[in-house]
Structure 1
């Protein structure tokens, strides 16, 4: 059965593509709401494949719940494709259902390398999920990294692309994304027909996908200690959500919509701790409602030129970003703030003049990893903007992972 394709949206910026996971109401329970203003969740997909089973809590993280074969996506060649629904865990420790799409070369060898690729995440609508976007006719939602991923497939690898925003499309929830990524790898290994139980695994992603990748790498030693990762490669990753929110929201900003969307996504994931809706003024409520089911460019267009002061009021003299509970949520989803470190080599890249990503958070995090003895290759690449740096840096990431799969001793430029 072929999944429902995404609806075309208004014009979106080229390479920033959205990924979102399953259905909002699919979780079968409504998330509790602390705010007097109801939290807005995304509209559900009509595809029952995403539904969470009644016995979900009885399943182990990474346990496969359902499987379906799907046609190879149009941009991928000489491949087979299968989608796995699996059990994962949200930021509150509750069970959720998530989905990953696994592409493999036709006639693939058993125990071949697996690349878990976390696609760029900038969306609040479920129709933007990779499992949906892989089959869309909308050119703005297609997987722009397809050429590099085709190269990985031609090397004989399998590529797993998880819907790492979870069943409420919780954009900005990096901890959730890391856990779904790791459970997606567990699912891939658990599905014996794929013959990947003994495969080496590498992670890669850029921007929002890089954030999920970096979080998965940091959480792996504690969340999934049985997984032996070969290495992780991430670029343009916002490793401190709080710093990024201030950078995009303190003054009117062309892409303020991304900060607003991240606040909404985190509110969905932390309904008791993230009182965003309580702070919103009428302009903020209108913006929230207009982008609640949007993909990247509609989000950016809706919030362009706005700021936090334009959409949110203070409560008892406390501004939105200064709310202690919101600051705690930011810390929980910022790789820079984690005490844990990866247990496998890291390749990191970023644009040399990235105005969207707090580069100081990347620098401090890589320094902490180096001090802990983690092999780190950190590269500042020339690029005119944040988006094109994805294309510039991805070949280096694939080369890094190729060496890890081949058993080449990692080098470090700490």
Structure 2
């Protein structure tokens, strides 16, 4: 059975997060446009810290390639911050350079808990990634989960926030997001100045960040078996992105922009297997160019009320999603179809009336975990929609991780 009660935690979390998430009303802002006949990649950041070194292929996943101390983000008093560039692996098995930002209590004790928090990044632009967005001048452009991250730091934990969409801002590519998450943890533990080498590790995230988190949890036993992950907590996860694509693209939908962005992000990650741009009509190419470097709000606003039929070649439509190549990519990036299961307890939450994500896929995935012996606690939170469920469920996620760090036996409602 699932509990329908809200997990206990300080009321200030809910108040702060509600203001942060719900009050962040999308505003239309000008974004750079891209002009290309085929795949449009994001504009490069004008910061050499993000560039890949020449010897990247000779390094091991999780190796630290560069480190820099940065000021704490606005609203994070008493916090030390460092950014790490590290070696990771893309969806094809090739080496890539990725970045994580590690926030720690000032003068923190060695061996403190480490949480990798995968932020909600519904974007195609590199400037929208956490290593930049944490330093945005407004909450609309920043990390909306920042109040929750601050609470975690005040508990004495270090929080690593990876740029989990990778160097191509491959929105929708959960596999590379999971691998970057795990390699970011490796990097944080290998950077001796942080004192995290022997720390217990938790991972957490919501929505798209939850997708990277759930994928990391499922891949950990084979991709990073040495990590001491004591638990994963994630909510509002699109466990089956193929089913979600059909739901958002079949007819006019207010969140169609997210489906379009995910298709373009996957095309960047799988250029030979996801021929999205080749199937777009003039309106679709215009939308692609409009959002090629956009963050969440512009993506949502630009695609609102559209459907696949509006942007795809008349002969293609939804049939693009049925090709064996595209179907394989979607399945590879859907946690529901990952054969391995987490090797640590899982906490999951979502709204029972969430119309954005395929709820049946959550049940199917968690049932498989339960049957494999994974301790799973799933919470149906009293929320009418996807966004407010993030606010209501986060306190329970932090309580769950706190109990894992304390060594308490996990409870399950499988």
The normalised TM-score by structure 2 is 0.91
Q: Deviations over 1:226-269 (max 9, x none)?
A: 11201000000101010010110000001100000000000000
| Alignment correspondent of 2:33 | none
1:375 aligns with 2:388: no
Cα gap change, 1:82/1:60 in structure 2, threshold over 3 Å: closer, same or farther?
A: same
The answer to which of 100-109 and 315-324 deviates more is 315-324
Of structures 1 and 2, the one scoring higher in RCO (CA 8 A, sep 6+) is 2
* Residue aligned with 2:403, SS: helix
Q: Is the 8 A contact 1:81 1:103 kept in 2?
A: yes
| Alignment correspondent of 2:225 | 225
* Residue aligned with 2:290, SS: helix
Distance in 2 separating the partners of 1:297 and 1:392: 22
Distance in 2 separating the partners of 1:154 and 1:364: 36
Cα gap change, 1:304/1:263 in structure 2, threshold over 3 Å: closer, same or farther?
A: same
| Alignment correspondent of 2:172 | 172
Alignment of 1:11-410 (within 5 A): 37-313=37-313, 319-410=319-410
What is the Cα deviation at residue 338 of structure 1?
1.1
Cα gap change, 1:175/1:16 in structure 2, threshold over 3 Å: closer, same or farther?
A: farther
The number of equivalent residue pairs is: 385
Q: Is the 8 A contact 1:178 1:214 kept in 2?
A: yes
* Residue aligned with 2:393, SS: helix
What is the Cα deviation at residue 143 of structure 1?
2.1
Segments of 5+ residues of structure 2 without an aligned counterpart are 1-20, 27-35
Distance in 1 separating the partners of 2:234 and 2:376: 11
Segments of 5+ residues of structure 1 without an aligned counterpart are 1-11, 18-35
Q: Is the 8 A contact 1:100 1:160 kept in 2?
A: yes
The normalised TM-score by structure 1 is 0.91
The answer to which of 146-155 and 92-101 deviates more is 146-155
Cα RMSD after superposing both structures: 1.6
What is the Cα deviation at residue 291 of structure 1?
0.5
| Alignment correspondent of 2:3 | none
The answer to which of 283-292 and 308-317 deviates more is 308-317
* Residue aligned with 1:299, SS: helix
* Residue aligned with 2:300, SS: helix
* Residue aligned with 2:38, SS: coil
Distance in 2 separating the partners of 1:328 and 1:278: 18
Cα gap change, 1:299/1:37 in structure 2, threshold over 3 Å: closer, same or farther?
A: same
